[in-house]
């Protein structure tokens, strides 16, 4: 049985994950506007991954006999960004999500909810991966410094990303 406090916090995280998906979907559209199909693909894969994260929280709440309470999703604030800005914002956003996960961890420990604490372990590891992948692309973008040939090569590389929903499982 989930406490009301933990249940509310997990529901907030469903909103955070769908909000993340929404942000990456906006970034995919922005990349398409920039004529970068590989970036568009990368953000679309990221969008799918975030929806899978939301699903994990959804399923966990139900598994614990809790109640899912969905709330309004804030609109993404993406407008006329450069590729570099898109990845700077992505990294800042992932760092925000990491802090959300850490706060949830602290809360589950404070409430002695060992099951939730254990459930969140997957997300702790996932956030390390998400930040590293995003930082990797950001570093490459800084290196090419807007050079069109460099951007072309990065775009080609990002076009190869494919989200594997089965690898998102335990």
Closest to 54 (Cα-Cα) out of 5, 11, 111, 114: 11
For the chain, count helices (H), then strands (E): 5, 0
Q: Can residue 94 be called a binding residue for ligand OFO (CB under 6 A)?
A: yes
Cα separation, 11 vs 42, whole angstroms: 27
Q: Can residue 130 be called a binding residue for ligand OFO (CB under 6 A)?
A: yes
Per-residue x/- marks for ligand OFO, 57-86, CB under 6 A?
------------------------------
Residue nearer to ligand OFO on the CB measure, 44 or 53: 53
Q: Can residue 120 be called a binding residue for ligand OFO (CB under 6 A)?
A: no
Closest to 93 (Cα-Cα) out of 139, 154, 34, 135: 135
- From the list 17, 81, 113, 155, which residue makes contact with ligand OFO (rule: CB under 6 A)? 17
- 49: which 2 tokens? 């991954």
Residues of the shown chain interacting with ligand OFO in the complex, contacts defined by CB under 6 A? 17, 20, 50, 53, 94, 97, 130
């Amino acid at each position: 049985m989930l406490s009301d406090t933990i249940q509310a916090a997990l529901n907030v995280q469903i909103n955070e994950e769908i909000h993340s998906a929404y942000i990456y979907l906006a970034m995919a559209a922005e990349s398409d506007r920039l004529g970068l199909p590989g970036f568009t693909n990368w953000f679309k894969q990221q969008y799918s991954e975030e929806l899978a994260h939301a699903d994990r929280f959804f399923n966990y709440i139900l598994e614990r006999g809790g109640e899912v309470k969905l709330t309004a999703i804030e609109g993404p604030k993406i407008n006329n960004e450069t590729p570099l800005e898109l990845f700077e914002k992505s990294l800042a956003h992932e760092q925000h999500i990491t802090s959300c996960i850490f706060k949830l961890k602290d809360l589950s420990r404070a409430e002695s909810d060992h099951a939730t604490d254990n459930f969140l372990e997957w997300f702790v590891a996932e956030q390390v991966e998400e930040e590293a992948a995003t930082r990797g692309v950001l570093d490459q973008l800084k290196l090419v410094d807007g050079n069109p040939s460099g951007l072309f090569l990065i775009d080609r590389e990002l076009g190869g990303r494919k989200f594997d929903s089965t690898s998102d499982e335990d």
